[in-house]
Each structure stands twice: as C-alpha cells, then as structure tokens.
Amino acid sequence: MYWEPSLEGMKRADLEALQVQRLRSVVSRCLQSPFYRERLAERGLTADAITSIADLQRLPFTTKEDLRTHYPYGLLTVPPRELVRLHCSSGTTGNPTVIFHNAHDLASWANLVARSLFAAGVRDTDVFQNICGYGLFTGGLGFQYGAERLGALTIPAGAGNTRRQIKLMQDFGTTAVHAIPSYLGRLREVFTEMGLDPKRDTCLRILVIGAEPHSEETRRRIEAMFGVKAFNSYGLSEMNGPGVAFECEHQAGLHLWEDAFIPEIVDPDTLEPVPVGQRGELVLTTLDRQAMPILRYRTRDLTRFLPVDCPCGRTHRLIDRITGRSDDMFIIKGCNVFPIQVERVLMRFAELGQDYLIVLDSLDGNDEMHLEVELRPEGFNDDFNALEKLRRRIATAVRDEVLVTPQVKLLEPGKLPKSEGKAVRVRDQRQQH
C-alpha cells in the first residue's frame, strides 16, 4: 500500500526519465537566480545540456557557504511577492541558512511528508503528536502539514514540557509520535516519575525519530523503552526539511524520494562518485521546488546507497542511516573519531542512560578525551567498587573502538545538560587552554 502508487512503485527507467525531464526545468529555472545564472554561464550550460541523468555531473555543486554568501535572496528564482514562507536551518554548525517557499513548494513538501509517514505505517485514523520545536525549525511545521495532509489528527505539541506531553498523549489517545531521539530518553524517564508505563498507559503504536544522528543501538533502545517500532526520518532545511528519506515498515534503510531529489554519494575530498555500497557525502538536487531550487547540494552528511531492493516494492533507492556529518569528526591523539562510534559502544552498557557528552581538553599540551555518561536510575548506587569496574570496562570498550582511552565520568541520572532541540554531543575546549 502506497500513498502515491504511480510514483512510489515506478519502474527505474521511468523514474530516471522523470528525473531528466524535471532536471531540465530545474536548470532553466535556476537561470533566473543571480547566483546560478553566473555559475551556469561559467560552464556554458543551459537546460538543453541535460539529455540524460549523467549530465547532472556537469552541473556545479552548491555548498552551505554559497547559501550564506548569497544570503538572503541570491538563490531566488521567483519574484518575492510569490513567496509564502521561509525556514532557517538550526545553525548546528554555524550561521543558519534561509530557504524560501512558494505555495507549490509547500504543497509538494507536505505531500512528501505524508508519503513518508504513510510508508512508516501512519494512517488517517492515527492521532499524531509532533513533539519538536515549531517556528523556524522545519520539523515543526514540516510534520504538521504532512500529517494533516495524510488526514491524521495532528497535535502541534511543540518541544519540552514533558509532563504536559504525557497528558496530551493520554487525553487524546496519541498513537504516533515524532520526536528527536535524544528527547525520548527524557520522555521515558518522566513516564516513570509519574508512575506510568508508555506500554501500558498509552495507545502509542508508532514512533518517528530523526533530525540528529543516532545509532542502530539507540533506536533499538528507544523501541524497547516504548514497546513500538521507531522509524528513521531524514531531512534537512536546504531540501525542505523532513520528507527527504524515510524508513518504510521494513526498516531496511531509508527510501530517498527520487522523484523529488536526485541523490549522489561522493568522496568528500575528490567529489567523485563512490562505488555503490561505499560511504561518502550525500549530495542532493531538488527536482520539484520552484522558489529556490538547489543544484547538487553538499549535505556533508555521510551515508551509502544500500545495494538491495526493499521488500515493500518501492523503487526509490535505500540509503543507510546517517553516521554523522563530515564536520562532526574530531581528531584526538592522531585518531579520527565520530561521536556515533562512541555512542554505539555506550549503548551496549545496560547500566547507562542514553545521554552522553564527549569533552575534549588539553592539559600541558596533551590532548585528553573525557566522557561524561549518566547512570540509569536502576544502575545508580554507592557501591564504589562496582562503579569503578564499570568505569574501566567503558574506557576499555571505547578504546577498542576509537583507539583512544577516555577518562570516564559516571553521573547521576539527569545530570547532563538537556537541550530542547538537537543534542550537543561534543564540547571541544582545546583552543581555550
């Protein structure tokens, strides 16, 4: 069962033909924006240059820096009076970027989110509670419009105020929730504080999680905490927001909606495509956006194409979960480390909660990695020997994975700073000392 059978189950050859046709009109639209007019003219390109999907490679890349340099209007391809909404990225890695939408863009985006939710099993009979920041962040209105388009009763719950979230879930019989994975540990804790169990005391049947990197181990934990499946949702403001790639009921990878975006995976250094199955940087071209189309956007997100067909029959290619951004990687004592590698190790310890913070510091010119982790309420006791042993086991397990031995600090449950939005996993204090 698909939301849009004619598009989701399209034969690959037809899908490619549609991409070429759409890409041609995207290129002719781009010629309306000062930024792309110049970039395309340098290469002597017009829409006629696009006759097959391979011609995509002749088009210029676009970076976050380009969007910042040409902020705010440099990439617009329609007259400003046609615009109806703008969104900004969260600014996780620097100044935010702005994206403008016209009415067509919003309708097409809502449709992609509806399609994504449907693929994960959400239906018009569901009560969908959207637990994330509204406002400029795309997860709020993006899921709101998408779930409404699907026909679900949609609760714009917003972020935070956890007790109220639980009350809403109970009062309105919430069956599906979207939230950031790092928030769900907190939500589960408050259920316990209130003497409630989400498995027994709610009607929840589906979780949708995304907006920040999380490991498979974290997903399994979240599923165990709530007793339902949690589906991975991937998107970024520059490509609308949610609704770019989504897991279907098989959880075999995320279907990237190829009628709306052309994906490439490239080596971040050479910018050459990597072989299928190999990890690289995801590059995306919008195919159905009018106000602000973007060519070959370098997402800096790392993933790979999964060389398998999904049992659901959807033909849109599967990508693997995002393991982080190329700029999340830090170097310590000569080793390259991604936070998610540390997370995967930590999630194997049943004694630990979901939150963690990696602090990088330097003492007398020597780099040090500190790891702050919270114990779960059940694991919290004053048996010093047992805690010391646990600390050592964690340090060894992390060293085996990333080759650097961290100083592990065990904290009481709830002691790590909590953010309402995306979790901050690394604090690098090396410059300050």
Stretch that binds Zn ion, among 10-18, 61-69, 105-113, 310-318 (CB under 5 A): 310-318
Smallest separation, CB 216 to ligand ADP (Å): 11
Instruction: Say what angle helices 12-30 and 34-42 make with each other, to 10 degrees.
Output: 110
Of 208, 201, 148, 154, give the one whose Cα is nearest residue 183: 208
Stretch 222-261: interaction string toward Zn ion, x if CB under 5 A: --------------------------x-x-----------
> Per-residue DSSP letters for 217-264?
HHHHHHHHHHTSEEEEEEEEGGGTEEEEEEE-TT-SSEEE-TTTEEEE
- Partner from Zn ion, ligand ADP, none contacting 322, C-beta within 5 to 8 A by type: ligand ADP
What is the smallest separation between the CB atom of 92 and ligand ADP, expressed in angstroms? 3
DSSP letter at 143?
H
Q: Does residue number 120 form part of the binding site for Zn ion (CB under 5 A)?
A: no
Residue span 79-108 as binding mask against ligand ADP, x where in contact by CB under 6 A, dash where not: ----------xxxx----------------
CA-CA distance, 305 to 311, in Å (whole number)?
A: 16
User: Which listed option, ligand ADP, Zn ion, none, makes contact with residue 248 (CB within 5 to 8 Å by class)?
Assistant: Zn ion
The CA distance from 187 to 155, in Å, is: 17
Nearest Cα neighbor of 322 from 273, 372, 250, 256 is 256
By CB under 6 A, tell whether 325 contacts ligand ADP.
Answer: yes
Residue the block writes with tokens 């109970």: 170
The distance of closest approach from Cβ of residue 236 to ligand ADP in the complex, given in angstroms and rounded to an integer, is: 4
Q: Does 312 bind Zn ion (CB under 5 A)?
A: yes
Residue 212: which of ligand ADP, Zn ion, none does it interact with, CB under 5 to 8 A by kind? ligand ADP
Work out how close the CB of 177 gets to Zn ion at its nearest, in angstroms, rounded to a whole number: 21
Letter for the amino acid at 289? R
* Residue 166: closest CA among 186, 146, 136: 186
Position 294 contacts ligand ADP (CB under 6 A): no
Q: Is 343 in the site for ligand ADP (CB under 6 A)?
A: no
Comparing CA positions, the residue from 403, 312, 393 lying closest to residue 349 is 393
Looking at residues 187 to 246 of the shown chain, list those that interact with ligand ADP (rule: CB under 6 A): 210-213, 232-237
Interaction site with ligand ADP (CB under 6 A)? 89-92, 137-138, 210-213, 232-237, 299, 301, 322, 325
